[in-house]
Each structure stands twice: as structure tokens, then as C-alpha cells.
């Protein structure tokens, strides 16, 4: 059986026409729409390169790469996960910042819990969905809650109150968004770009003073069979063409532009 | 005695499959043992909490499956049921459905905007993200195993023995409790075990319908997945090893008690 599988592998690999390069890009779930669009443009601009995209929580993708998943690029919703791969000699540094994002709160269009303000999230009985503790957005949310709690008008124990209303930790931010779209959850913190991608949710803004900047970074993965092409994609994504496509989905360009 | 080439080939094929099935389990247990992960896991509150939740919810699912599945199985085995083929296919469906499909379907009916969940929500009752949702998800995927086993069991009971009891003046309830049920027991017992084991392993429907929250809806399989997603491989292996040991214990017990029919496809 093992021998039979071994025979299948070269056959599968040789399916691509000669001279073409297939890059596998692991990308944060929040990049689902934007990177799909950017990838289409990239394939047109770079004949002979085709992209295969795989979306999930950045932390989950990092785990997959650490467990030997074959891939060429990680585009993460933070700098920490790709940096950890670089530190572990699993990716070629430095981590290239390619986009920034901000947080917002989404509620179902009908807003059954009548949430009009971030303060309402701490009210008992509000059902909030989050993402797993290791998922980048969870760290951004913690920072944001700490900042909100420090604002005038927010009660003592605000952050703890919100935390106690969390009813589920979904796989990634898009899964949390889906639970709000379905009306199963009353609210979720998501990225501004996630909220913009959905017709079925309403946005409850976060005061600018409490918002958090999410910084997206990408790296070429060490085991890549196409290191030059992988590095080229990483650079392109952070360049003007990549940034302009991501901007149409609401992403902010990398800092320092 | 010389063995035929075909016999040798078949033996080699069978041995390869045993290796294929056994090695991953062995690797999992070996890593848990050599890494000293089991004592660690046994002391980890997240694992203990999930184990406790798994035990409570699987027993509740089992109770539901028995309470509702016994009358159904009896009717399927004994009564003229219109559309029996369709009904039996419907009852068997969760066995072949991907659990994620079950989770999605449960959401559409029992979710907060679902056919039943919507009206319940208006009464202030929400099911998703609660321990009740875990029990329902497990019951959905596991109950068919009990119904199948019980149907086979009831169908196999010699009707003459029941009639003999009736002649002696026993009531219908008495006939069921003292004659039918004990005679069907050899088929019911393995059905119970398989139902419980399937509920214990339930993952997809649970994570979709009940969500994932420690202490409330995070059963042991969800811990395995969550820890792996978070990159905590050792913690995932430890929780997985506990599940393997539990499942293995059940299967060995089934053999030990002579309930071999639990492992016979005809009863599943």
C-alpha cells in the first residue's frame, strides 16, 4: 500500500505542464477574498506561475507547516507566527509586512441583542463568538478590550464581563463571522475587512482611541521547491500592486508608505 | 506444507493492513507514553474538564438514544410500518453522513433562526453553544447504532416464548420486560456500547452546532483538534491517547463479555 502511494506521488507532481510553477500559499482566513483576487491578478501578470491558496487561522497554518505541510508562502494576520517559523529555520526571513487591518464589532442584521455600543457586549446574556486563543485576532481583541476598559464611561470589570459572554471559540475569524451571519451568535470582533465582505451583518464601531492595528506579515517557507518564485510573490504582495488590490478590500498598506 | 503463492500474497496484504491500522495508534500511544504526557494530561484541568464533559454528555446521549430508540426499534421489528424502507434508510442515514453535514442540518432546525430553534428563541430558550447542543449532536450521530442493534435483537426473539407468557396471563408490559427484553439483551448490549463509543468520538457535528468552549461544549475530541490547531502537539497527543485508551477499553470489554456481535456488521 505504501509502495502504491509512493508510485502515485510523482504522477501527481508531474501533472503540471513543464515550465510552469505551482506555488502553494497558506493565508490567514481574513485574507480569503482579498488574496484570491490578488492571486488572480498575480497569475495574469506572471505567466507560468499558478497559485494554490489555503485559508485558515494563521496559527493553524503555522502548525501545519511545522508538521511538514508542503507549501511555499505563509501570509499571516500577524508578524509573530511567520517570525516563529523563521526562528525555527522553517522560513526564510525577514518577515515582510504587507498589510494592516483594524478591528470592528459585527452583529446580525436584525441585531437581536440590541448592541449599539461596545459597552453592550459586557451585558449579561449577550452571546459572543471568538476565535481560538492562539489565533492572531484573539490577541488583538485582548488588546482592544484592555484599551476599551480604560476609556471613560466603561465599567470596572468590562473586559472580564465581555470574556464571560464568549460562548464559543471558533477555528478562525471567518468561522466566527459566519456564526454571526447565521444569527447564532449576537456579536463577534472581526477585522474591518471581514465586516466589509459580508452583507448579512451590521457594524458596531470601536472608538478610534481603543482600536488596535493588526499587522500582516508574510515569508517564503524554507522547504519550498520554488524559493525564487516564493520570494518574488512575498515581495509583490508587499509592493504597490499587491497593496492596491488589498486596499480595494479595505486593507491598509504596510506601515511606512 | 507448502503454501500457495496466492495464500502468501493474501497473508502479506492482510499483514500490511494490520500494520497500516496499528502503526498510527501505536505511534500515538508511544509518543504519549515516552513523552510522559499521560500523567501530565491527567493533571491538566482542560483535559479533565473535557473528559468529564464527554462522560456526562455521552451518557445523556445514550439515555436519549435508548429511551427514544427502543420503541422505534420495536415498532420496526414487529409492527407493520408504512414506508418501512424509507424509514429505515432515514434512521441509518446519520451513520453514513459526514458529521459536518449533521451539524449544519441541526443548525437549520435547532439554531436560533431554525424551524424549531426560532420559536424556542422567542420563548427565551437557545440551544446552540450549550451543553444540550452537544448531547443532541451526539445523539443524532450515535442513536442509529442503537436502533439498528435493537431492531435486530427484537426481530430475533422467538415469538412463541412471548405467546407462552401471554397464555400464562402476563400483561403486554410484563411480556416485554420479562421475556422480550431479556431475550433481546445479547443484541442490545453491544448496541449500547457502539452507541456510546460513537458519541464519545463525535466531533464534526458538535463543533458546528454546539461550538467550542471549555467546560461547556468542548468535549475531548474538540480538545485534540483545538490543541493541534494551536500548535500544542503534546497536549493534542495526550488527549488523543486518552480517547484511544477509552475506545480500546470498550472494544476489549465487548469481546470479554462475549458481545462479539457488537463488532459484527450485521448488527450495525
Tens-place pLDDT, residues A150-171? 999 999 999 999 999 999 999 9
- The pLDDT score that the predictor gives to residue B258 is 61
Give residues 179 to 218 of A whose Cβ lies within 8 Å of B: 179, 182-185
- The pLDDT score that the predictor gives to residue A18 is 44
Mean per-residue pLDDT, A212-224 = 96
pTM of the model: 0.83
Cβ contact A183–B212 (<8 Å):
no
Shortest CA distance from B111: residue in chain A: A184
CB of A169 less than 8 A from some CB of B: yes
Chain A residues with CB-CB distance to B211 below 8 A: 129, 167-170, 179
Shortest CA distance from B113: residue in chain A: A183
pLDDT (tens, 9 = 90+) of chain B, 268 residues, equals 567 888 889 889 999 999 999 999 999 999 999 988 888 777 777 888 999 999 999 999 999 999 999 999 999 999 888 889 999 999 999 999 999 999 999 999 999 989 999 999 999 899 999 999 999 999 999 999 999 999 999 999 999 999 999 999 999 999 999 999 999 988 898 899 989 999 999 999 999 999 999 889 999 999 999 888 888 888 899 999 999 998 888 888 777 766 555 444 444 3
Residues B154, B77: contact at Cβ < 8 Å? yes
Cβ contact A183–B107 (<8 Å):
no
| B230 closest CB neighbour out of A132, A166, A167 | A132
Task: Tell me if residue B217 falls in helix, strand or coil.
Answer: coil
Cβ contact A167–B211 (<8 Å):
yes
Q: How far is B113 from chain A (nearest CA, A)?
A: 7
- The pLDDT score that the predictor gives to residue B36 is 84
Gap between the Cα atoms of A97 and A49, Å rounded: 22
Cβ contact B229–A57 (<8 Å):
yes
Which among B223, B152, B209 is positioned nearest to B184, based on CA atoms? B152
DSSP-H helix ranges across chain A: 2-13, 32-45, 58-66, 80-87, 136-150, 158-164, 173-181, 192-196, 227-238, 240-248
ipTM for the predicted complex: 0.76
Which among A165, A159, A198, A162 is positioned nearest to A180, based on CA atoms? A198
Grid cell of B47 as nine digits? 483535559
| A63 closest CB neighbour out of B107, B216, B228 | B228
In terms of residues, how long is chain B? 268
Cβ contact B20–A1 (<8 Å):
yes
Confidence class of residue A11 from pLDDT cuts 50, 70 and 90? very low
Q: How far is B17 from chain A (nearest CA, A)?
A: 8
The angle that helices B181-201 and B45-78 make with each other, rounded to 10 degrees, is 140
Q: b vs e for A235-255, b when ≥16 Cβ sit within 10 Å of the residue's Cβ?
A: ebbbeeebbebbeebbbbbbe
The angle that helices B220-229 and A58-66 make with each other, rounded to 10 degrees, is 80
Cβ contact A167–B216 (<8 Å):
yes
- The pLDDT score that the predictor gives to residue A31 is 96
Tens-place pLDDT, residues A60-78? 999 999 988 899 999 999 9
- The pLDDT score that the predictor gives to residue A125 is 93
Cβ contact B211–A134 (<8 Å):
no
Shortest CA distance from A178: residue in chain B: B208
Q: How far is A116 from chain B (nearest CA, A)?
A: 21
Q: How far is B139 from chain A (nearest CA, A)?
A: 21
- The pLDDT score that the predictor gives to residue B259 is 54
Amino acid at each position: 500500500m505504501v509502495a502504491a502511494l509512493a508510485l502515485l506521488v510523482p504522477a501527481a507532481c508531474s501533472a503540471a505542464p513543464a515550465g510552469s510553477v505551482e506555488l502553494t500559499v497558506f493565508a490567514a482566513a481574513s485574507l480569503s477574498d482579498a488574496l484570491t483576487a490578488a492571486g488572480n491578478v498575480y497569475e495574469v501578470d506572471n505567466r507560468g506561475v499558478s497559485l494554490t491558496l489555503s485559508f485558515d487561522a494563521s496559527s493553524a497554518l503555522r502548525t501545519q507547516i511545522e508538521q511538514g505541510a508542503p507549501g511555499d508562502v505563509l501570509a499571516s494576520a500577524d508578524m509573530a507566527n511567520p517570525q516563529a517559523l523563521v526562528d525555527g529555520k522553517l522560513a526564510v526571513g525577514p518577515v515582510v509586512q504587507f498589510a494592516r487591518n483594524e478591528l470592528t464589532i459585527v452583529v446580525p442584521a436584525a441585531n437581536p441583542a440590541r448592541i449599539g455600543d461596545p459597552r453592550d457586549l459586557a451585558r449579561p446574556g449577550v452571546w459572543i463568538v471568538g476565535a481560538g486563543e492562539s489565533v492572531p485576532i484573539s490577541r488583538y481583541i485582548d488588546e482592544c478590550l484592555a484599551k476599551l476598559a480604560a476609556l471613560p464611561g466603561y465599567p470596572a470589570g468590562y473586559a472580564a464581563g465581555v470574556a464571560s459572554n464568549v460562548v464559543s471559540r471558533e477555528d478562525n475569524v471567518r468561522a466566527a463571522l459566519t456564526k454571526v451571519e447565521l444569527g447564532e451568535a449576537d456579536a463577534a470582533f472581526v477585522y474591518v475587512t471581514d465586516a466589509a465582505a459580508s452583507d448579512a451583518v451590521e457594524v458596531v464601531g470601536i472608538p478610534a482611541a481603543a482600536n488596535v492595528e493588526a499587522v500582516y506579515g508574510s515569508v517564503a517557507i524554507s522547504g519550498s521547491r520554488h524559493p525564487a518564485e516564493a520570494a518574488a510573490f512575498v515581495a509583490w504582495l508587499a509592493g504597490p500592486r499587491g497593496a492596491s488590490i488589498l486596499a480595494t478590500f479595505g486593507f491598509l498598506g504596510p506601515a511606512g508608505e | 506444507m507448502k503454501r500457495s503463492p496466492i495464500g502468501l500474497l493474501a497473508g502479506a496484504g492482510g499483514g500490511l493492513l494490520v500494520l497500516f491500522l496499528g502503526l498510527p495508534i501505536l505511534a500515538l500511544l508511544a509518543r504519549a507514553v515516552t513523552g510522559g504526557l499521560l500523567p501530565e494530561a491527567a493533571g491538566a484541568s482542560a483535559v479533565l474538564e473535557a473528559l468529564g464533559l464527554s462522560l456526562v454528555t455521552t451518557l445523556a446521549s445514550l439515555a436519549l438514544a435508548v429511551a427514544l430508540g427502543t420503541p422505534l426499534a420495536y415498532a420496526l421489528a414487529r409492527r407493520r410500518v408504512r414506508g418501512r424502507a424509507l424509514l429505515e434508510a432515514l434512521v441509518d442515514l446519520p451513520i453514513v453522513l459526514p458529521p459536518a453535514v449533521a451539524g449544519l442540518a441541526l443548525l437549520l432546525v435547532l439554531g436560533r433562526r431554525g424551524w424549531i430553534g426560532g420559536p424556542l428563541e422567542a420563548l427565551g430558550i437557545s440551544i446552540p453553544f450549550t451543553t444540550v447542543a452537544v448531547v443532541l449532536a451526539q445523539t443524532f450521530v450515535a442513536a442509529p447504532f442503537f436502533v439498528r442493534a435493537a431492531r435486530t435483537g427484537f426481530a430475533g426473539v422467538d415469538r412463541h416464548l412471548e405467546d407462552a407468557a401471554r397464555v400464562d396471563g402476563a400483561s403486554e408490559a410484563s411480556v416485554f420486560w420479562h421475556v422480550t427484553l431479556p431475550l433481546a439483551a445479547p443484541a442490545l448490549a453491544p448496541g449500547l456500547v457502539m452507541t456510546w463509543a460513537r458519541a464519545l468520538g463525535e466531533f464534526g457535528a458538535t463543533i458546528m452546532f454546539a461550538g467550542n468552549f471549555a467546560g461547556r461544549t468542548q468535549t475531548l475530541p474538540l480538545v485534540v483538534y483545538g490543541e493541534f490547531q494551536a500548535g500544542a502537539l503534546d497536549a493534542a497527543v495526550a488527549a488523543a491517547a486518552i480517547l484511544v485508551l477509552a475506545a480500546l477499553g470498550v472494544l476489549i470489554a465487548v469481546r470479554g463479555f462475549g458481545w462479539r456481535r457488537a463488532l459484527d456488521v450485521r448488527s450495525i
